[in-house]
Structure 1
């Protein structure tokens, strides 16, 4: 497919949605309290930009995301590797890990509120939990998927441990691990916004909740659109970084 045609097709879908949205509000098929027009959303966007409200809430959310995601993904990587490389760790912690990863992240919110309150620690922990399991599972499955013959050859030639890691484990596992990190980043952002909607005094989700309480659906829609754009941007940025990190595969 030619680049120009691909760009046109990519733009046509959101443009069509915008046209339908504008037409529905213009014909007043829904009351303004239920569905606001795109022009009202644009005006609200300019309002929250001018007052600095959007920048403040978005900065709070991104700071929490950075702290929670970095913590959760790092711990998940270490735990997943330990789970795959140590039979003792797998026997002791494997069943619990497999059970806990099936529980939705938001189900932990009431318990974590009781334990940690509603301060920043709670928000960091809930994001870290969302990031932990996809990375841990990706690391575990990746290492388990490395053929045993690789290790046998390494043992036969008495290769040092750093050669085993740099020449065998990393090239064989890094693609799947990066895919797990990408998934965990998306999940972390979704969980963060949802948690801020439920319990927070700042952040993008809280801005949307305040808009709902004030019957400002235009501000709510601003939050929804910004959340979608930020999520898409984070995913696309990591996709580019992933392609750059794995460029050796196509070399």
Structure 2
């Protein structure tokens, strides 16, 4: 096979499974195996998508969800990064905070939604807090494990030069632990997105999850499917962009 054709086929191979699912979906819908109220044909979903775009409703819901994700993820990721590094470098922090940290990170974020609603209501604070919680623990764990894996000689050299804590973090710990930290950030970002959509399904007055829930109540399954597909595409895009960032930052590893 020609190298150019081979490269094109390898890049296009990821389209095969989505196209296969789409084809199966269309065949099952046209065969009438399920009522149309349950399994809407793809063409109807496309028409609903065009209607939502034309009215601006989809853009508004998506913008609200992404703004909550951006704020909550930023707060959770920064807090998790700082706490994870401190837990790796300080035996005192590990001794006093480690057991509680490892206990709390086992609690699913979705299980905390009812309690958070009681504390914060269904306003923006609730959504931002639940996203921050979902982002905090994976980043903190990745930062802690990444810094612990740094060779001890790095810190011995830093001790010889008597580097202060801010310089030690900026010049030694964070650059050396960057690969696992970025992986933790990527995982936490997609996890935070899933938690946000779930939170909007249960308690929100706007956002992609709220659009899905309201459409379900109105039996607009075509709009529900638009929301589901958009949620998947946004999650895939976030993960894909982070992978590109990792590849760009660590391109020297491939040499």
TM-score by length of 1: 0.94
- Within the candidate set 199, 210, 215, 1:211 is matched to 215
User: Does 2:121 match 1:117?
Assistant: yes
Deviation at 1:250, TM superposition (A): 3.9
CA distance in 1, matches of 2:18, 2:152: 48
Identify unmatched segments of 5+ residues in structure 1: none
Match of 1:56 in 2: 60
CA distance in 2, matches of 1:165, 1:76: 14
| Two-structure CA RMSD over aligned residues (Å) | 1.6
Match of 2:163 in 1: 160
TM-score by length of 2: 0.93
User: Does 2:93 match 1:89?
Assistant: yes
- Within the candidate set 4, 11, 17, 1:13 is matched to 17
When the two structures are aligned, how many residues end up with a matched partner? 250
- Within the candidate set 214, 217, 224, 1:220 is matched to 224
CA distance in 1, matches of 2:163, 2:83: 23
CA distance in 1, matches of 2:137, 2:16: 36
Match of 1:134 in 2: 138
Mapped contact 2:211–2:227 kept (Cα < 8 A): yes
Deviation at 1:106, TM superposition (A): 0.7
Identify unmatched segments of 5+ residues in structure 2: none
- Within the candidate set 188, 195, 200, 1:184 is matched to 188
User: Does 2:66 match 1:45?
Assistant: no
- Within the candidate set 168, 173, 176, 1:169 is matched to 173
Deviation at 1:242, TM superposition (A): 1.7
Q: Secondary structure at the match of 2:106?
A: coil
CA distance in 1, matches of 2:168, 2:96: 26
CA distance in 1, matches of 2:17, 2:240: 18
Q: Secondary structure at the match of 2:177?
A: helix
